């Protein structure tokens, strides 16, 4: 087909490729517009992740390495002193980032796989399957999570695998609620119906038709869930039934060094040592919340009036 400049060709216009921005470019533009709090959150999270990944290289001492002086004060050798049996606090803080965050991350992923999977199954099949799962979740959610976790830990014992499984199961109920609610709006769409009529399998409909359409609220929920799981694990470890020694963990570090706080009058630095791991927990939670807030605002247009 030959075309002269005078004639209009619809095919040509359609054929003109508009230079689209790549994903990376769009992300960069969004990032430039991100508010200060979101930037703060992202920077803090990246630092934490960096520390967690390179923990063995950054830590001056080993995770459970015992040095001769217990309760050593802050010095150039032990930046934050040592704990009750002479382990370097800074090193344990660094390894703690790896353990606490790693376990919380794994738990959250598991909670999303279980809760999200069940929710999508319930939303797609509906009928009595949906009824049974939903009612079961209602009952499980009627028990306060920390209490439920304590009860289950007393039965299965406090090992890291049982900790991960128990908390993941408890949190999956919350994931289930949200996922089912958002998925219900999508499963009634024609394209899902079309996919079903085409004879696609349950897994395919879940992955290819529904999941992409409900992703933004789920990603935000992932952040919030992560900080909840993180706080729950910290609380359990603080209570002495979570992550067990010698594994370094922020919650149990607070517990082990708590008595130092009594000496704050005489040595202020020693007094605030137990607050260090606790603040590390709080800082990460705040950072995650900031990023999630920004992300929610971005993807849903929802905004708390500030």
Partner 1 sequence: MHPILSTVLQRLALGVLTLFFVSVIIFSSIEFLPGDFTQAVLGQTATEETVAAFRREIGLDQPAYLRYFDWIGSLAQGDLGTSFSGRAASGVDRSRPVVDLVAPRLANTLFLASMTAIIAVPLALTLGITAALYRGSVYDRVVNALTLTTISMPEFLVAYILILLFASLNPWFPSLANVTTDTPFWERVHKCTLPSLTLTMVIVAHMMRMTRAAIINLLASPYIEMARLKGLSPARVILKHALPNAWAPIANVIAFNLAYLVVGVVVVEVVFVYPGIGQLMVDAVTTRDIPVVQACALIFASTYILLNLTADIISIVTNPRLLHPR
Residues that bind partner 1 (CB under 8 A): 138-140, 142-148, 150-157, 227, 231, 234-235, 238-241, 251, 254, 258, 261-265, 271-272, 274-275, 278-279, 281-282, 285-286, 289, 304-306
Nearest to 297 by CA among 198, 217, 236, 234: 217
Say how far apart CA 106 and CA 100 lie, in whole Å: 10
CB of 147 to partner 1, least distance (A): 4
Identify which of residues 49 and 264 has a Cβ nearer to partner 1 in the complex: 264
| SS3 category, 221 | helix
Identify which of residues 171 and 209 has a Cβ nearer to partner 1 in the complex: 171
- Report whether 192 contacts 205 (CB < 8 A): yes
A 10 A CB-CB count for 77 gives 13
CB of 194 to partner 1, least distance (A): 38
Identify which of residues 65 and 267 has a Cβ nearer to partner 1 in the complex: 267
- Which 8-state DSSP code applies to residue 18? P
CB of 24 to partner 1, least distance (A): 31
CB of 96 to partner 1, least distance (A): 14
| CB-count burial class (<10 Å; 0-12, 13-18, 19+) for 24 | exposed
Identify which of residues 187 and 236 has a Cβ nearer to partner 1 in the complex: 236
Identify which of residues 114 and 280 has a Cβ nearer to partner 1 in the complex: 280
Say how far apart CA 114 and CA 274 lie, in whole Å: 36
> Which residues, including other chains, have CB under 8 Å from residue 187's CB and lie 6 or more apart?
123, 124, 126, 210
Say how far apart CA 156 and CA 242 lie, in whole Å: 12
Identify which of residues 200 and 267 has a Cβ nearer to partner 1 in the complex: 267
CB of 25 to partner 1, least distance (A): 33
CB of 254 to partner 1, least distance (A): 6
């Amino acid at each position: 087909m030959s075309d002269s400049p005078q004639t209009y060709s619809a095919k040509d216009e359609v054929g003109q490729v508009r230079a689209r921005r790549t994903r990376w470019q769009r992300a960069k533009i969004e990032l430039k517009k991100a508010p200060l709090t979101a930037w703060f959150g992202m920077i803090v999270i990246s630092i934490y992740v960096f520390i967690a990944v390179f923990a063995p290289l950054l830590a001056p001492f080993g995770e459970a390495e015992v040095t001769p002086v217990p309760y050593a004060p802050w010095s150039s050798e032990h930046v934050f002193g040592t704990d009750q049996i002479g382990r370097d606090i800074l090193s344990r803080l660094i390894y703690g980032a790896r353990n606490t965050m790693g376990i919380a991350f794994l738990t959250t992923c598991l909670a999303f796989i279980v809760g999200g999977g069940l929710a999508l199954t319930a939303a797609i099949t509906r009928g009595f399957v949906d009824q049974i799962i939903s009612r079961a979740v209602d009952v499980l959610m009627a028990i306060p999570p920390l209490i439920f976790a304590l009860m289950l830990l007393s039965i299965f014992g406090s090992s890291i695998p049982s900790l991960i499984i128990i908390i993941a199961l408890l949190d999956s109920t919350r994931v289930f609620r949200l996922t089912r609610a958002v998925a219900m709006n999508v499963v009634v769409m024609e394209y899902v119906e079309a996919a079903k009529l085409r004879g696609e399998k349950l897994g395919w409909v879940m992955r290819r038709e529904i999941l992409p359409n409900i992703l933004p609220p789920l990603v935000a929920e992932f952040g919030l869930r992560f900080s909840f799981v993180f706080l729950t694990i910290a609380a359990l470890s603080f209570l002495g039934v979570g992550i067990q020694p010698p594994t370094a963990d922020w919650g149990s570090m607070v517990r082990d060094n708590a008595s130092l706080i009594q000496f704050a009058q005489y040595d202020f630095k020693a007094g605030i040592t137990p607050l260090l791991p606790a603040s590390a927990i709080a800082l990460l939670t705040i950072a995650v919340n900031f990023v999630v807030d920004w992300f929610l605002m971005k993807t849903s247009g929802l905004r708390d009036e500030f």
